[in-house]
Homo-oligomer: A and B are copies of this chain.
C-alpha cells in the first residue's frame, strides 16, 4: 500500500500502532464518512461522532468480554490523573491498599497518600523491583486493593491477579498491558489504562468501573474528577479527546479482526519469547532485569556487560532502524517494548541484531 519504509518501533509509549489503522486515519483525514470534514472538525454531539465512541465501547466490551454492570469511560489526564481520581472517588474514608512492584505502583501510592490514608500491602523495592510478591499483608477493611499489572520500566508483569480480601475491590493500573491478553474483568472493581501503549495514541485514558462503586463518589467533586458524573454523561460531559478516541476505536477494530485477545496473547508470547530466548542463550552477555517468573510480555529491560556496550548497542540499532531501545533514564540499560502492534518481523529483526551484536562485540 504505502512506499514508506517503517521503523522497527520498540518505543515504550507512545508506541507502535497498527499500520492499517494509520492508513485508514490518513485516508479519512480530510473527509470523515462523507461529511466533507475531518473527524477533528465535527461536533462530539453529532451522530457521526456518537457512532465512533459507541462502536469503540462495543468493540472493547467484546474484546475483554466486559460484563454489563461495568461502565466504560474515555477520560483525559493519563494514569497519573487516575492515581488521584481513584482515591477521591473510591476511598470516601478509611484506607486503601497498594501492591507495589515498580515505579508506577509507587507513584500511585504516593498520590493516594497526598489525599488520605494508603499503605503498601506489598513492596518489592528491596529486590530492585525484579519480582512479584509471594504474599500480601492485606487490610481486610481496605477501600480497595490496587496493583499495576505490568511495570513498564522494570518489565515485571503479573500473570494472574493478586487476591484481594473478600469484599475489597481489586483495582488495576493496566496502562502497559491493556488488551494484551484475555482477563476476567468480573474479578476487578476498576481497571484503568492510558491508551498510549497497546490501545492507541496518548490523550485518552480508559476506565472500566463496576457500577456499584460509582455510588461511593462523594458529593461536590469537581465534575472532571467525578467518575459518577462522567459515567452519567457517557464521557461526554464536556468535549472529549475525539481524535484519540477515534484512533483507539480503530485499534479495537483491528484487534477484533486479528482474532481477539487470545490470538493477540499468542502473538505477544511468540514475540517476547524470541527476545527472552536470545537473552537466555547469550551465556550472560545479555542479562534480563526481571526474575523469570515475573517477566513481562510487553517490556523487556536488559543489561549488557558495560554501559559503553549499551550505548553502542542502542546507537547501532538506531542505524538499522530499530528504534526506542534505550532503557528508561531512571534505570539505564536497554529496554525493548514489544506491544500488540509490533510486527513479528520487528521482533525477529531485534533477535538477529542482538545475535549479531554479541558476535561482533562479545
Q: Does A42 contact B (CB under 8 A)?
A: yes
**Is there contact, CB below 8 Å, between B83 and A222?**
yes
Please classify the interface of chain A as helix (H, G, I), strand (E, B), loop, or mixed, using the class held by over half of its residues: loop
Chain A contact residue count (CB 8 A cutoff): 66
Q: Does A140 contact B (CB under 8 A)?
A: no
Given known A76-B241, A196-B239, contact A37–B9 (CB-CB < 8 A): yes
- Give A114 Cβ to nearest chain B Cβ, in Å: 5
**Is there contact, CB below 8 Å, between A224 and B84?**
yes
Given known A14-B43, A35-B7, A239-B13, contact A78–B78 (CB-CB < 8 A): no
Please report the C-alpha to C-alpha distance between residue A311 and residue B16 in the assembled complex, in whole angstroms: 46
**Is there contact, CB below 8 Å, between A201 and B111?**
no
**Chain B residue nearest in CB terms to A244:** B203
Please report the C-alpha to C-alpha distance between residue A241 and residue B238 in the assembled complex, in whole angstroms: 17
**Which residues on B sit within 8 Å (CB–CB) of A223?**
80, 83-84, 111
**Which residues on B sit within 8 Å (CB–CB) of A16?**
37, 41
Give A residues with C-beta under 8 Å from B. Answer: 2, 4-7, 9, 11-17, 19, 22-23, 25-26, 29-31, 35-38, 40-44, 76-81, 83-84, 111, 114-115, 194, 196, 200-204, 220-225, 237-244, 247, 321, 323-324
Q: 11 A-B pairs, CB-CB below 8 angstroms? A: A5-B31, A6-B30, A6-B36, A14-B42, A37-B323, A78-B224, A80-B223, A114-B221, A202-B241, A202-B243, A203-B204
